[in-house]
Amino acid sequence: MKKTLKFIQDVKQEAFRVTWPSSKEVIQGSLMVVAMAIIAALFFLLIDQFFKFFLDIILKVSF
């Protein structure tokens, strides 16, 4: 039982040491995630279209 109480006290102390991000930092981080997701989606779209184009050419030539 003493170990459990000690653990809870330690957790409480650590919680007070946490440095929480400001709202500006949260917004910046969120915008960066959205921007990187859009960039990645566009990149994979272009790669997919590139492969589709050449695959269509290969299939038309072979038949």
Spatial contact of 21 and 29, defined as CB atoms under 8 Å apart: yes
- Domain containing 51 equals 23-63
State residue 26's pLDDT score.
Answer: 97
State residue 32's pLDDT score.
Answer: 98
Q: Is residue 37 part of a domain?
A: yes
| CA angle (38 as vertex; 37, 41 as ends), nearest 5 | 85
pLDDT averaged per 10 residues in sequence order, the chain, 63 residues: 91 91 97 98 98 93 73
State residue 61's pLDDT score.
Answer: 86
Q: Is residue 1 part of a domain?
A: no
Q: Is residue 60 part of a domain?
A: yes
Stretch (H or E) spanning 59: helix 23-62
- Give the span between the Cα atoms of 19 and 46, in whole angstroms: 41
State residue 13's pLDDT score.
Answer: 93
Q: Is residue 58 part of a domain?
A: yes
Number of domains observed in the structure of the chain:
1
